[in-house]
Amino acid sequence: MVESIKYLKQKVHRLTMKNRAGRAQGRLFEQLIEMAGSAPDQELLKTSMQRALGVTAQLSGTDMGSLFLLDDQGRVTDSLLTRGEVDTEMKSRLIGSVLDQGLAGWVKTHLNVGLIHDTRTDSRWLSLPSEPYTVRSALAVPIIRHNTLFGIITLMHPEPAHFDDASVEIIQTAASQMALAIEMARLYIKLEKLNRVRIRAMERDMQLARQVQESFLPTQVPMAEGFAFAALNRPAHEVGGDFYLFFNLPQNRLGLAIGDVSGKGIAAALFMARLTSDLQYFAALHDNPADLFKELNAILCKRAQQGMFVTLVYVILEMDTGGISWVNAGHMMPMHMAKTGIRLLGKDEKKGPPLGILPDAAWEMETFGLQPGDGVVLYTDGIIEARNPASELFGCNRLKRIVRRYLDAPDTLVRQTARAVDIFSQGAGQSDDLTMVVFRRGKRQKT
């Protein structure tokens, strides 16, 4: 009978300890989940460990405890007490003595549990001068994961022999959960730091790419007798793929181009920069824009990387006669504006593919004569494909109505187009670059 009672008592004790250990694990796991649901930083980690220290102290039947958090080099990053954070003066005393000579120092050296039944007879206990409480028994447990010491938790009680094997089991359970939480938080913090470094590097790259891009865009529109010009380039992001060009050609002609390079960022900016340079160089060698596109396409197909290509409209304007000739490589059709109506210029069958895709592709030149008062609008898909919150497209008809209203004033036309797109897409944001080039032949002077 005595043996049975003893066995039952032991079983009840084990079940009680398992229950206490389970509660410890559950409560600490809640702390872990709470921290994982946030974006951990040092302050959140410290707060979570402060709560975890309080939980372990309560479950071990005491209200006195301390916690040292260590870095990868074993240096103390934070010192906490159950009653709050350690002030600077006490932190200095604790680190300089307890971690060198006391129980926490012994645990740090041996990476093992330190259990003291009576502080008066155990040399590992170091009593500090003016200690605010009496300590007769203590338990220190390393917070370890993957052989890395993250910290040391120490619990104290005013009575001797307060902590036993069951207490050790509970605190070790707590320490394992704390180690997991610390590891996750530190990994997250490290990744966040690396991510911030990466973002700053990307921002610098984007600024550089934008500077490269802007250096190849015209600083002003042409000033030519008998014609008015206006242009707009507004990237959706730091660096866009749209561009436009004006450049002089022999025999009082002007070259105009508008294009959209696939992709964004530095690669697209450099692709655009080299393309605009090639375009101006080879344009002087080819009177027929179709021949120019054939040569440019061959160059781009050899040079193309990561599938980059460009849609492009290139126009040659005869300044003396108002005649225009153009070639379209997969771009939006030019828009002819006149008092008699607004219409698209060009035929679908003469519109070729974008440059840089098909090595053997061919394009056809088209021609048209501008009458006095007529003009041409070149634009990119960021205008007509802008969407409102209901996913409706801005469309070509809306653009035509704006062109009809402001066809006598190219500067006003580009401004009002951008404004109309902004109003239309309000709430949806600018998803693509907005680029527009307008030129208009002046009316004949009355004699």
Question: Domains in the chain, start-ordered, CATH in brackets?
Answer: 14-192 (3.30.450.40), 217-441 (3.60.40.10)
Q: What is d(CA 293, CA 40) in angstroms, rounded to the nearest whole number?
A: 55
Whether residue 335 is predicted with pLDDT greater than 90 in this model: the reply is: yes
Nearest to 441 by CA among 347, 338, 355: 338
pLDDT recorded at residue 121: 93
Least confident of 11-25, 99-113, 301-315: 11-25
User: Judging by beta carbons within 10 Å of its beta carbon (0-12, 13-18, 19+), is residue 378 exposed, middle or buried?
Assistant: buried
Tens of pLDDT, residue by residue over 217-269, are: 788 899 988 999 999 988 876 556 789 999 999 999 999 999 998 876 677 77
pLDDT recorded at residue 447: 42
Tens of pLDDT, residue by residue over 145-175, are: 888 898 999 999 999 999 988 888 888 888 8
pLDDT recorded at residue 353: 95
Percentage above 90 pLDDT, the chain:
40
CB 268 within 8 A of CB 241: yes
Q: Which amino acid is at 362?
A: A
pLDDT recorded at residue 62: 87
Whether residue 400 is predicted with pLDDT greater than 50 in this model: the reply is: yes
More confidently predicted of 36 and 262: 262
Nearest to 53 by CA among 183, 186, 175: 175
Tens of pLDDT, residue by residue over 173-218, are: 888 888 888 887 777 778 888 888 888 887 777 777 677 777 777 8
77-81 mean pLDDT: 78
Query: To the nearest whole number, what is the mean pLDDT of the chain?
Result: 82
pLDDT recorded at residue 72: 79
pLDDT category at 93 given cuts 50, 70, 90 is: low
CB 230 within 8 A of CB 438: yes
303-327 mean pLDDT: 89
Whether residue 364 is predicted with pLDDT greater than 50 in this model: the reply is: yes
Query: The tokens of 86 are what?
Result: 């350690």
Tens of pLDDT, residue by residue over 1-17, are: 666 666 555 555 555 55
87-105 mean pLDDT: 66
Q: What is d(CA 293, CA 54) in angstroms, rounded to the nearest whole number?
A: 75
Whether residue 365 is predicted with pLDDT greater than 60 in this model: the reply is: yes
408-437 mean pLDDT: 86
353-361 mean pLDDT: 92
pLDDT recorded at residue 25: 52
Nearest to 175 by CA among 145, 131, 200: 145
pLDDT recorded at residue 81: 78
pLDDT category at 367 given cuts 50, 70, 90 is: very high
Whether residue 414 is predicted with pLDDT greater than 90 in this model: the reply is: yes
Whether residue 306 is predicted with pLDDT greater than 90 in this model: the reply is: no
Whether residue 446 is predicted with pLDDT greater than 70 in this model: the reply is: no
34-50 mean pLDDT: 63
Q: What is d(CA 263, CA 271) in angstroms, rounded to the nearest whole number?
A: 10
